[in-house]
Structure 1
Amino acid sequence: MIDRRLRVLQAIARHGTVTAAAEVCRLTPSAVSHQMQALARELDIALLEPIGRNVRLTPAAHTLLAHGETLTAAWEQARADLAAHRAGAVGGTLRFAAFSSAAAVVVPRALEHLRTEHPALRVFLRESEPGRSFDLLAADEADLAVIVATPSIPPASDAAFEQHSLFDEPLDILVGPDHPLVGRRGVVALRDLAGDPWICGNVGRAYHQLVTLACTAAGFAPDIAHYADEWDTGAALVARGFGVALVPRLADLPAHHDTRRIPITTDPVPTRRVIAAVRAGSQDQPTIAAGLDALRHVTETGLPALGRS
C-alpha cells in the first residue's frame, strides 16, 4: 500500500549514504540510485544532493519523508482496526528482533508466555544489533524489537517508531580471581578500575558504546587492551588477567572461566535501558499488542536478577 521507495529514502536519511542504504535494504547501490532517480522524476522534484562521497536530502525529500511517516503510521493503524473485525484467537506471525542478552534471556521467556497464552500465534526471533533492529522494523522484516538504548539508535521523538521502556539493567564489574577488588568489603566504584586494562566490544557495537559512556561518566577513559564481542571470549581474557570488563546483570557468563562478578555500589552506577520498539501505529495490532504484553509480563515477574520476584 505504501511506495517501497519511501523506505529506501528513509534508509538513506538514516545512514547518510546510498551504499549503506543499499546494504540495509538488500539492494545494490545502483538499484537504490535508480529508484531515487525514478521517484524524483515522478514527483518532478530533486530529492538528493551529492556531498562528496555522501548525499544529502533536499528540503523536498524531508517533506516527503514526513508525509511518508504519516502514511505508514496510518496504514499500521488501519491494520489494527481491521483486526478488530476478525473473530477468534490471536494468530498469524510475530517477528522479534533482539540484541544478544535479550535474545538469550528475555525474549525466549516472552515466547514461552505467548505459546501458552496464544497457541495459534507463530513466533520468530532474529538476534541483531540495536541499530540493525530499527532497520528491520522499517523494512517490515520485524514487528517488535527489544533494544538497548545507545546514542546510535533513533531518538524517542522519531515519528517512524514508538518506543516503550522495559527495564533498567545494572552493569557489574567482571574481574579475574586474583584482582585486588576480589574480597574487598565496603564501597566499590567504577573509577577504582581506571588504571586497569579493559576488554570491550568492537567499535560501533552497542557494548562498546555502553562501556565507554559508563567510564566517561565515572571520570576516565578506559584503556582498551582487547576487543571481544562474545562473552566467552571476554570472560576467557578476564579470567587470565588480561583486563577487566563490564557485564550486564542478566548476562549468562560461561561457567568454565574463573571470573568474579562484583556489583558497583557507589554513584555513578552504570546501567543500560532496555526498550521495546515497534513501527508507529502498529502497537494496537493484536499480535504486536500480545508481544508487548508478554515482554512486560516477563520483565515485571520473571527477572529475579534485577530484584524482581
Structure 2
Amino acid sequence: MNDHPRPFELRRLRLLHELAQRGTIADVAAATSYSPSTVSQQLEILAREAGTALLEPDGRRVRLTAAGRSLAQHAARMLELDEAAHAELAASRGAPTVVRIAVMPTAAQALVPRALRLLAEREPELRLESVEMSPEEGLRELAMRQFDLVVAEQYPGHIREIRAGFDRTLLGADPVRLVLAPDDPAAGLADLAGRAWILEPPGTAVREWAVQQCRAAGFEPDVRFEATDLTTHVRMAAAGLAVAILPDMLWTGDRGTVRLVELPGAPVRQIFAAIRASSRDSRAITAVADTLREALAAHRPR
C-alpha cells in the first residue's frame, strides 16, 4: 500500500498564494480570469489534498487558517522555483528574454524611452514590456509575479512597507517643488495657507507626504481638486486655479508655463527599482535596472 501523499498541483498552489496576497476570492478570480466559484472549488480540492482546513469564515469573506498561511509560504517558494526553471529552459532554447516592468507615470515618460534606446544598443535580444501603474499597485503585482521589476518612489520620512522577498535598488533622487502660476507672488509654502490645492487621491504616498508638508508649515491644505494625471495638476497651477507639489521628473518638455518654488529643506523623493529576491541574479533584470538608473541620471528638465 502506497502511503505517500500525492503531489500538490501548482495551479492550486498559485491560487492559494494569490489569496494570501489579495485577500478575497473575488480579487483572485478577477486576477486569474477564473470565476469565484472555480477558485473556491480549486481551493477546496487543495484543502482535501493537504488533509486540513486552509480557509475559515471571516464574516462574508474567508481568511487563511494557520495551516493555510504556512502552505501559502511554501507555495511562494514553489512558484519561485517554477519561474526559475522556465527561465532557464527558455534561455537554453535561445528564446528571447522578456522582462516585464511596472512604472509610475512620471517614470514612464521620463525614463522608459531612454532605457529602451540603451537596451536596444546593449541587449538587442531582450524584450522589455512596460505597463504604467501606480507604485502601490505595481508593488502588489510584483509579489503576484505579474512583473519582474517595479519602479516606485519614496518620500522623506514616508518609508514604504518593507516586504519580505523583495530587493530594492536605488535609481536616483528626484527634487520635489511647489508649482505655481508664473505671476503668483508666493515666496514659499508658508504663503499658501488658505489657497486651493490639487493633489493626488488619498491613500497615495505623495498625497500623505504633501499634506504633512503643509501641516509642518502651520496649515491644513484646502484640497479642492484630486487627479492622478499630473498634467492636470500642471494646467490647474499654470492657470492660477490651484497650488501643486510636483517632482522634477515630470518636466520632460517646456516648463515655462509655471513657476517652481523650493519647498523647505529642498526635499527629494527616492526613485527605486523593486524586484523579487529570487530574481537578483538575473542578468536581464539587472540590465534593465542599470539602464533605468542611467536614464534618471541623464534626465535634465528644461
Q: Do the structures match in fold with TM over 0.5?
A: yes
Question: Is 1:63 paired with 2:35?
Answer: no
AA aligned to 2:161 is P
AA aligned to 2:149 is L
TM-score, length of structure 2 as denominator length: 0.81
Deviations 1:78-100 (A, max 9, x none): 567x4898598x94222221110
* Alignment-derived partner of residue 101 in structure 2: 96
Note closer, same or farther for the CA distance 1:87–1:253 as it changes in structure 2 (3 Å cut). Answer: closer
AA aligned to 1:116 is E
1:47-196 pair list within 5 angstroms: 47-76=54-83, 82=88, 86=92, 91-149=96-154, 155-159=161-165, 161-181=166-186, 184=187, 188=188, 190-196=189-195
C-alpha displacement at 1:25, in angstroms? Answer: 3.4
C-alpha displacement at 1:246, in angstroms? Answer: 0.6
* Alignment-derived partner of residue 297 in structure 1: 294
Note closer, same or farther for the CA distance 1:116–1:25 as it changes in structure 2 (3 Å cut). Answer: same
* Alignment-derived partner of residue 283 in structure 2: 286
SS at match of 2:170: strand
- The CA distance in 1 between the partners of 2:260 and 2:32, in whole Å, is 40
* More deviation, 51-60/133-142: 133-142
Note closer, same or farther for the CA distance 1:54–1:191 as it changes in structure 2 (3 Å cut). Answer: farther
SS at match of 1:4: helix
* More deviation, 2-11/37-46: 2-11
* Alignment-derived partner of residue 15 in structure 1: 22
* Alignment-derived partner of residue 5 in structure 2: none
Note closer, same or farther for the CA distance 1:122–1:65 as it changes in structure 2 (3 Å cut). Answer: same
- The CA distance in 1 between the partners of 2:141 and 2:298, in whole Å, is 27
C-alpha displacement at 1:256, in angstroms? Answer: 9.0
TM-score, length of structure 1 as denominator length: 0.80
- The CA distance in 2 between the partners of 1:157 and 1:208, in whole Å, is 22
SS at match of 2:107: helix
Note closer, same or farther for the CA distance 1:216–1:51 as it changes in structure 2 (3 Å cut). Answer: farther
**Is this contact kept in 2: 1:168–1:273, CA < 8 A?**
yes
- The CA distance in 1 between the partners of 2:160 and 2:289, in whole Å, is 20
C-alpha displacement at 1:217, in angstroms? Answer: 5.4
- The CA distance in 2 between the partners of 1:128 and 1:142, in whole Å, is 11
C-alpha displacement at 1:143, in angstroms? Answer: 1.8
**Is this contact kept in 1: 2:91–2:97, CA < 8 A?**
no
* Alignment-derived partner of residue 33 in structure 1: 40
**Is this contact kept in 1: 2:21–2:144, CA < 8 A?**
no
Deviations 1:129-154 (A, max 9, x none): 22322344334332222122489997
Aligned residue pair count: 293
Note closer, same or farther for the CA distance 1:290–1:79 as it changes in structure 2 (3 Å cut). Answer: farther
C-alpha displacement at 1:289, in angstroms? Answer: 2.2
Note closer, same or farther for the CA distance 1:60–1:102 as it changes in structure 2 (3 Å cut). Answer: same
**Is this contact kept in 1: 2:142–2:148, CA < 8 A?**
yes
AA aligned to 2:210 is V
SS at match of 2:224: strand
**Is this contact kept in 2: 1:214–1:270, CA < 8 A?**
no
* Alignment-derived partner of residue 271 in structure 1: 268
Deviations 1:97-139 (A, max 9, x none): 1110011111221111111101122222111122322344334
C-alpha displacement at 1:293, in angstroms? Answer: 2.3
- The CA distance in 1 between the partners of 2:14 and 2:152, in whole Å, is 21
AA aligned to 1:237 is M
Structure 1: runs of 5+ lacking an equivalent: none
AA aligned to 1:141 is Q
- The CA distance in 2 between the partners of 1:215 and 1:83, in whole Å, is 53
Note closer, same or farther for the CA distance 1:23–1:223 as it changes in structure 2 (3 Å cut). Answer: farther
* Alignment-derived partner of residue 200 in structure 2: 201
AA aligned to 1:274 is I
C-alpha displacement at 1:261, in angstroms? Answer: 1.8
- The CA distance in 2 between the partners of 1:32 and 1:109, in whole Å, is 41
AA aligned to 1:166 is L
- The CA distance in 1 between the partners of 2:160 and 2:246, in whole Å, is 24
RMSD: 3.3
Q: Percent identity?
A: 34
